[in-house]
Amino acid sequence: MVIDETRTTNTTLSLDQRVKMEWKKTYDFFISFHRNAFKPEIGTGAEVYVYKTANVKSKSLAAKIQNALVRVGFRDRGVKEAEYYVLKHTKAPALLLEVGFIDNSADNKLYDAKFEAIVDGIANAVLDVVGVKKNNSCPTCGQKVGI
């Protein structure tokens, strides 16, 4: 299992640059992490987007991640279809996560307080969908995977 980040500093990459980075390797999934925004204190909750022609594996992962985000306390905004650039143009099945609203103080408190649970929920959903058991070895690369 290959895991890469498109950016590790606060430097903006265009959507096209992100997609072109993904084209250079083979991935099980491309997952784009975001914090949503609307009007201060109005929007709340988490949602996961998949491309309109997403396969069953993508939809399954989207549902598992959405359920994990709801379990930590985010309002359920559901799994939705969209034609966002990164969803449409990556080779790997792609998901776009909106993990709470950055302009909502309750969502921010939840995000900060439950960050480890959020990360674990997302990671466990990915591991489950690709068939890797926690604290086991990756079936593709043989590396130890533990959360």
Beta-strand relationship, 144-145 and 76-82: unpaired
More confident of the two residues 8 and 113: 113
Q: Which domains does the chain have, with CATH numbers?
A: 15-145 (3.40.630.40)
pTM for the complete prediction? 0.86
> What pLDDT digit, counting tens, does each position of 130-144 carry?
888 766 555 555 655
Predicted confidence (pLDDT) at residue 8 exceeds the cutoff of 80: no
> What pLDDT digit, counting tens, does each position of 14-50 carry?
899 889 988 998 888 999 999 999 999 999 999 999 9
Q: What is the mean pLDDT of residues 80-109?
A: 96
* C-alpha triplet 44, 103, 62: angle, nearest 5°: 45
Q: Tell me what pLDDT residue 84 has.
A: 95
Beta strands per DSSP E along 1-147: 30-36, 46-51, 76-82, 94-101, 136-137, 144-145
